[in-house]
């Protein structure tokens, strides 16, 4: 491949064909993203500069990126970034890749505050920090704390906060759930979380790019997938302000069971919110 000159546009078609042959349903998009990443181009430039001839180093780099994707590595890990809530986040294999479904959790939390100033937020299992930082980007006077058991995730989230200009309003710490959290005097106004919720027996059946590359600790939620919700609903009231919001993402078919846990922990105004696909994705409630 490095012996014959080829245009960027032709190489895009080659990558797409290779991805399609592997059964990748996002073959075109993946090829576009990897090409723009390799060349440092905006994603659409390949269509406006179709005659650009790739250099040998560029061809070699693209061959390497293509091989990694064909090996199952997610595009976000290859490029080191992922968009969420219109913001760009650095990602690594210390964290889950942010997904559009999780934006529902941001929407639910924002709706609960409707611009009220000065809120304090806690994000449990923060990962890239995408949930907390997206909220802070919309809630101009809010302050937030993100915690994660993974040191690499905490470092990554802190970097994302500074890159997005939110470093003065967001802090991050290593903590096993609530263990190392020092709440405000009157408690947090909201606690949010996208915890691990996949039943242990289902991990082996996940898609290869999830099972083999994303951290299992951020995926597995115990035998039935509900262990983190049991812990969170039990402990959250002690960290929430009166009337404070608890909002969590849930897996498919889990909303009803999680709502029962909210009720058992004394929360009121318990609601389930669907994602864009119509799947109940977020359960929320308020401290009595």
Average pLDDT on 13-31 reads: 97
Which tokens in the block code for residue 111? 């709706």
| pLDDT exceeds cutoff 90 at 155 | yes
Name the CA dihedral angle for 53, 59, 61, 66, rounded to a multiple of 10 degrees: 110
Taking only the tens place, the pLDDT of each residue in 247-272 is: 999 999 999 999 999 999 999 999 99
pTM reported for the whole predicted model: 0.93
Average pLDDT on 159-183 reads: 97
Assign 201 a pLDDT band (cuts: 50, 70, 90): confident
Long-range contacts at 215-219 (CB < 8 A, ≥ 24 apart): 215/93, 215/94, 215/95, 215/96, 215/150, 217/149, 217/150, 218/95, 218/96, 218/125, 218/127, 218/150, 219/96
Average pLDDT on 87-92 reads: 98
Average pLDDT on 25-46 reads: 96
The CA distance from 16 to 20, in Å, is 6
The answer to whether the beta carbons of residues 122 and 143 sit under 8 Å apart is no
The CA distance from 144 to 140, in Å, is 11
Strand partners, 83: 88
Q: Range with the lowest mean pLDDT among 82-91, 107-116, 139-148, 269-278?
A: 107-116
Assign 3 a pLDDT band (cuts: 50, 70, 90): low
């Amino acid at each position: 491949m490095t012996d014959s000159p080829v245009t960027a546009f032709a190489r895009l078609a080659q990558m797409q064909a290779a991805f399609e042959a592997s059964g990748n349903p996002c073959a075109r998009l993946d090829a576009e993203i990897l090409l723009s990443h390799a060349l440092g181009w905006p994603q659409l430039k390949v269509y406006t500069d179709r005659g650009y001839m790739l250099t040998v180093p560029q061809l070699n780099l693209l061959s390497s990126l293509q091989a990694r994707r064909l090996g199952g590595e997610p595009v976000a890990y290859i490029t080191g970034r992922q968009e969420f809530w219109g913001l760009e986040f650095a990602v690594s294999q210390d964290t889950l890749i942010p997904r559009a479904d999780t934006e529902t959790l941001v929407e639910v939390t924002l709706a609960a505050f409707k611009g009220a100033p000065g809120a304090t937020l806690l994000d449990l299992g923060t990962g890239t920090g995408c949930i907390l930082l997206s909220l802070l980007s919309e809630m101009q006077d809010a302050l937030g704390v993100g915690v994660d058991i993974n040191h690499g995730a905490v470092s990554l989230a802190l970097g994302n906060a500074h890159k997005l200009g939110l470093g003065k309003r967001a802090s991050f710490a290593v903590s096993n759930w609530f263990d190392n959290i020092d709440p405000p005097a009157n408690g947090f106004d909201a606690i949010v979380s996208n915890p691990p919720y996949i039943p242990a027996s289902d991990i082996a059946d996940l898609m290869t790019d999830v099972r083999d590359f994303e951290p299992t600790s951020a995926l597995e939620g115990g035998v039935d997938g509900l262990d983190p919700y049991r812990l969170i609903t039990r402990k959250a009231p002690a960290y929430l302000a009166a009337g404070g919001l608890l909002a969590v993402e849930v897996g498919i078919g889990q909303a009803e069971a999680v709502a029962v846990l909210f009720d058992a922990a004394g929360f009121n105004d318990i609601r389930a919110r669907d994602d864009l696909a119509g799947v109940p994705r977020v359960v929320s409630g308020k401290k009595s």
